[in-house]
Amino acid sequence: MYKKILLAYDGSQSGQKALLDCQDLAQWSHAELSLVAVLPINIGLVSTEGGVYDSGMMEREKQGMQAVLDEGLEHLKTAGFPATGALLTGDTVDEITEYAKQIQADLIVVGHKHLDGWAARWWKSSVSKALIAQAPCSVLVTIIH
């Protein structure tokens, strides 16, 4: 039985499905829920070919991710599930796996959307695939078609 479930949450459609599935698991196992959102550290450092640099980009992205995290926590609270949340900064997979170790999670839940076409699947890296390889615990991938 799961005692601590960590949900990697980004507010996307697949993330919303993972949130709902996470609620079902928590209700079934009476587990503690933790939500995390990860902000890539290099957002404010990215520049375009023309050399445009927006120093406020990182702060706007941070505020946006915090709003997504707060929305997920409010959704859980409204459904009767007390949960904690954390906004992490860095590499998505590294941050999720380290946080899972920190809170001694039994399960990580993450959403995944199937990409159309072999080229899209080949080109885009999969957070869920990398999590399965690196996680210190079980990983549940909820899929949206």
Tokens, residue 9:
């949450």
- How is domain 4-144 classified at the CATH fold level? Rossmann fold (3.40.50)
- Given a contact cutoff of 8 angstroms between Cβ atoms, the answer to whether 115 and 17 are in contact is no
Q: Is the pTM of this model over 0.85?
A: no
pLDDT-derived band of residue 55, with 50, 70 and 90 as boundaries?
A: low
Tracing tokens 């939500």 back to the chain, one arrives at: 35
Task: State the CB neighbour count (10 A cutoff) for residue 141.
Answer: 18
| 135 against 123, higher pLDDT | 135
Asked if pLDDT for residue 141 goes beyond 80, the answer is: yes
Angle at alpha carbon of residue 140, lines to 135 and 145, rounded to 5°: 125
If we measure between CA atoms, which residue out of 90, 73, 92 comes closest to residue 130? 92
If we measure between CA atoms, which residue out of 108, 2, 91 comes closest to residue 43? 91
